Amino acid sequence: MAKRINADTPKKRKIWTILCLIIVCAIAVALRADIVYRIYPLEFEDEIAFYGEKYAIDEYLICAVIYTESHFDEQAESGKGAIGLMQVMPDTGEWAAGIIGINDYSEDMLKDPETNINIGCWYLGYLTEMFDGDADMVLAAYNAGPSNVQQWTDSNGTLTIEFEETQTYLERVQRYYEIYKGLYDIF
Q: Domain map of the chain by residue range?
A: 8-39, 45-183
pLDDT category, 15, cuts 50, 70, 90? confident
Mean pLDDT to the nearest integer, 83-99? 98
pLDDT category, 28, cuts 50, 70, 90? low
Crossing angle, helix 45-54 and helix 59-70, to 10 degrees? 120
| % the chain with pLDDT above 70 | 88
Q: Put residue 132 in one of left, alpha, beta given phi > 0 → left and psi -120 to 50 → alpha.
A: left
135 class by beta-carbon count within 10 Å (0-12 exposed, 13-18 middle, 19+ buried)? middle
- CB within 8 A of 165, min separation 6: which ones? 143, 144
Mean pLDDT to the nearest integer, 6-16? 68
The CATH architecture that domain 45-183 belongs to is Orthogonal Bundle (1.10)
Q: Supply the pTM of this predicted model.
A: 0.83
List the catalytic residue out of 43, 45, 59, 69: 69
Q: What is the C-alpha separation between 19 and 162, in angstroms, rounded?
A: 56
CA distances from 79 to 83, 89, 132 (A): 10, 11, 31
Mean pLDDT to the nearest integer, 11-15? 76
Nearest by Cα to 166 from 180, 149, 178, 183: 149
- Evaluate if residue 171 carries a pLDDT over 70: yes
Q: What is the C-alpha separation between 115 and 91, in angstroms, rounded?
A: 14
Cβ–Cβ < 8 Å for 7, 13 = yes
pLDDT category, 183, cuts 50, 70, 90? confident
| % the chain with pLDDT above 90 | 76
Q: How far apart are the first and last CA of the chain?
A: 49
Q: What is the pLDDT of residues 129-167, one digit of tens each?
A: 999 999 999 999 999 999 999 999 999 999 999 999 999
**69 is an active site residue:** yes
